[in-house]
């Protein structure tokens, strides 16, 4: 009795910690594959009242931490959770993940290596390049999120994590503990622990910066010959055999499923392919609408004034409200305090405007902040109702449709002969399975084609992009290409094209820092980021121009068959601009949803990118702005270099 349904009861983190302590297995590192999980674990242990330190050790930890946090402005303590972090440390417990400030992470590393704290809950990044050996390593799960799904740990990943167990010169052996989870068999753990050979996989691929630097010192033929002899090409050629076998199987499945599609009215497979394309076009249209609605909603919230009448879609209805004041939502984001047509107060955020929003008129308010009592609220709502019914407000056009692609495909579907078939839905169900199998076969066919002489083919495709945009001319590096040689990163071509086209001319230092952050930062989520509120006109114009540059690059990449460069991401722009203007960390991060550690890490990368831009244009206006921006950003916790030994 007492067990969880379907298996053993899962041990709580505090009880696991107590068991490790009683067994003499501390200090330990527990790997938790999410930042939130690490923070939750520390909160659970602190809430349980567990303390792993003596009074003398707690006092020593407290003195050390007090010295470390002098680098943090007191007004930033709350946003960074400094007090809760200190309380956990003096109890001998800490979290360690990329969302923390570097100085906080390094303080945890120092205290753990000195034997002052006994348990660290960490993401797997701690296993890479940091000297923090422990007596015991606890792995909470043998699965982790890989960005798109939950995937099992590889033997190499398991070895990397468990390799932290055992302190040289202190322990005769280390211990690796895997928390029990339903569906995890002991044999699975044993297989991971016993494997000791791992394949070496090349991550080499030709990039824009690499190609112009290669062609600066060699001809096209010499570069192709060099790439043909690379380890990456050797591995790619070996992988084709396995892929070709999978392709044959996938084509056989697709062929068998297509054979089941028969209709006296016409080609059912063609009809089902149309429906499949419509479904994918609708999903892409919905994604674009969500991104556009989010950007539009934040722009409306940012510019709204008391007395503005807003129209927005809620389900199938269009609703109207009158803005009374700005407000702060429960999650800390900027919101609007508004009065509805049924005489109610509402706090509205960008989430409420997902269906589209527009300012359609204005009306007078009874004093600052809107009506004070119930009678005033009812009168204002009645005035709003009369204004809406009068027809004097601007029309609300709402969110745009799915787009021309989906509309054209629907028209073709309705005109298809199989659309008249009374059994078309049965065909569609069978066709969905065929469409999935056909897509898999097409994907594998592209993979086989791309792997054959893949590195050289990628080099040639990258070269075509560079030729089309003027960075190369007949295989020779142009003046634009010379600039690209000094720029490197995931969006190196976007940055070089923006510089060459003059998109960032005239920006001051904070504005340049903001737009460069959009060419460096990558949001952790899958969705497109909306342009943050609070940006001035110049950064907004720079964003629009940079978006056009990125679209130009994307068209060249699509024409050449190159994987698209990541689009610019504006999520860090407002925070970076505010920091460059001298704001506190708390002010800079307000409404951004970005963790303090992430901000510091990405801002340092922005500083690096600004240094590259300065080297491209050392005597020009953009170069001068880049130099000034680096100076403005490199302050406080961003400039902090490391813990001191105490």
Q: Within 13 Å and on the Cβ side, how many CA atoms surround 377?
A: 12
Q: Is the peptide bond before 469 cis (omega within 30 degrees of 0)?
A: no
Res 302: pLDDT: 79
Res 411: pLDDT: 87
The β-bridge partners of 319 are 312
Lowest mean pLDDT among 141-155, 188-202, 462-476, 505-519: 188-202
β-strand pairing of 334-340 with 317-328: antiparallel
The β-bridge partners of 134 are 165
Q: Model confidence over 162-179: pLDDT tens digits?
A: 776 776 666 667 888 887
Rounded Cα distance between 227 and 229, Å, is: 5
Average pLDDT over residues 89-103: 91
Res 321: pLDDT: 94
- Show the tokens assigned to 429: 């169900």
Cα–Cα separations (whole angstroms), residue 42 to 11, 131, 283? 15, 22, 39
Q: Enter the DSSP assignment of 137.
A: E
Instruction: Report the share of the chain in percent with pLDDT over 90.
Output: 35
Average pLDDT over residues 400-424: 78
What's the mean pLDDT when you consider all of the chain? 82
Pick the most confident of 111-125, 218-232, 444-458: 111-125
Taking the model in full, what pTM does it have?
0.61
Average pLDDT over residues 485-496: 93
Pick the most confident of 103-107, 300-304, 496-500: 496-500
State the Cα torsion 117-123-128-129 to the nearest 10°. -40
State in Å, rounded, how far the first CA of the chain is from the last one.
Answer: 51
Res 499: pLDDT: 95
- Write down all domains in the chain, each with its CATH number in brackets: 13-194 (3.40.50.300), 264-420 (no CATH), 488-638 (1.10.3380.30)
More confident residue, 29 or 206: 29
Q: Model confidence over 10-29: pLDDT tens digits?
A: 568 899 999 999 999 999 99
Average pLDDT over residues 492-517: 94
Pick the most confident of 154-158, 267-271, 588-592: 267-271
């Amino acid at each position: 009795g007492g067990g969880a349904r379907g298996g053993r009861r899962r041990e709580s983190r505090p009880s696991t910690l107590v068991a490790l302590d009683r067994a003499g297995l501390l200090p330990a590192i527990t790997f938790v594959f999410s930042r939130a999980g690490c923070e939750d674990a520390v909160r659970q242990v602190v809430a349980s009242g567990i303390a792993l330190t003596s009074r003398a050790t707690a006092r020593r930890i407290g003195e050390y931490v007090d010295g470390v946090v002098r680098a943090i402005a007191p007004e930033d303590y709350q946003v960074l959770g400094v007090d809760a972090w200190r309380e956990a440390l003096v109890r001998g417990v800490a979290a360690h993940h990329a969302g923390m400030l570097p100085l906080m992470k390094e303080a945890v590393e120092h205290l753990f290596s000195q034997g002052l704290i006994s348990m660290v809950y960490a993401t797997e990044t701690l296993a890479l390049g940091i000297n923090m050996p422990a007596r015991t390593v606890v792995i909470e799960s043998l699965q982790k999120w890989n960005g798109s799904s939950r995937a099992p740990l590889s033997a190499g990943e398991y070895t990397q994590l468990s390799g932290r167990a055992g302190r040289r010169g202190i322990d005769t052996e280390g211990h690796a503990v895997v928390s029990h989870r339903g569906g995890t068999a002991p044999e699975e753990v044993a297989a991971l622990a016993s494997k000791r050979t791992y394949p070496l996989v090349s991550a080499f691929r030709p990039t824009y910066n690499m190609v112009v630097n290669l062609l600066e010192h060699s001809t096209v033929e010499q570069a192709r010959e060099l790439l043909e002899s690379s380890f990456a090409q050797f591995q790619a050629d070996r992988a084709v055999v396995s892929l070709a076998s999978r392709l044959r199987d996938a084509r056989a499945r697709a062929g068998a499923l297509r054979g089941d599609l028969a209709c006296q009215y016409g080609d059912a497979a063609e009809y089902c392919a149309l429906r499949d394309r419509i479904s994918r076009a609708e999903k892409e249209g919905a994604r674009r609408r969500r991104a556009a609605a989010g950007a539009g909603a934040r722009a409306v919230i940012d510019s709204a004034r008391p007395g503005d009448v807003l129209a927005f879609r809620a389900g199938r209805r269009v609703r109207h409200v009158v803005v009374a004041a700005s407000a702060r939502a429960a999650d800390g984001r900027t919101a609007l305090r508004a009065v509805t047509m049924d005489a109610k107060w509402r706090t509205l955020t960008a989430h409420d405007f997902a269906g589209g929003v527009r300012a359609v008129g204005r009306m007078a308010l009874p004093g600052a902040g809107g009506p004070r009592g119930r009678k005033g609220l009812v009168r204002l709502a009645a005035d709003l109702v009369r204004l809406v019914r009068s027809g004097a407000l601007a029309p609300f056009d709402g969110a745009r449709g799915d787009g021309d692609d989906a509309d054209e495909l629907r028209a073709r579907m309705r005109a298809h002969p199989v659309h008249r078939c009374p059994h078309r839905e049965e065909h569609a169900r069978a066709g969905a399975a065929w469409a999935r199998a056909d897509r898999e076969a097409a994907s594998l066919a592209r993979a086989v084609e791309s792997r054959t002489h893949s590195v050289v083919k990628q080099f040639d495709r990258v070269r075509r992009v560079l030729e089309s945009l003027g960075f190369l001319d007949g295989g020779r590096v142009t003046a634009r290409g010379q600039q690209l040689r000094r720029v490197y990163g995931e969006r190196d071509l976007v940055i070089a094209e923006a510089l060459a086209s003059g998109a960032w001319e005239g920006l001051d230092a904070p504005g340049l820092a903001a737009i460069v952050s959009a060419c460096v930062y990558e949001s952790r989520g899958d969705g497109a980021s909306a342009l943050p509120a609070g940006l001035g006109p110049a950064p907004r114009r720079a964003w629009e121009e940079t978006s056009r540059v990125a679209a130009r690059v994307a068209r060249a990449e699509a024409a050449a068959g190159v994987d698209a460069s990541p689009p610019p991401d504006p999520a860090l722009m407002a925070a970076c601009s505010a920091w460059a203007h001298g704001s506190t960390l708390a002010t800079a991060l307000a409404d951004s949803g970005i963790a303090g550690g992430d901000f510091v890490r990405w801002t340092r990368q922005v500083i690096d990118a600004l240094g590259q831009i300065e080297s491209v244009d050392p005597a020009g206006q953009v170069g001068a702005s880049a130099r000034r921006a680096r100076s403005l950003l490199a302050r406080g916790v961003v400039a902090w270099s490391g813990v001191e030994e105490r």
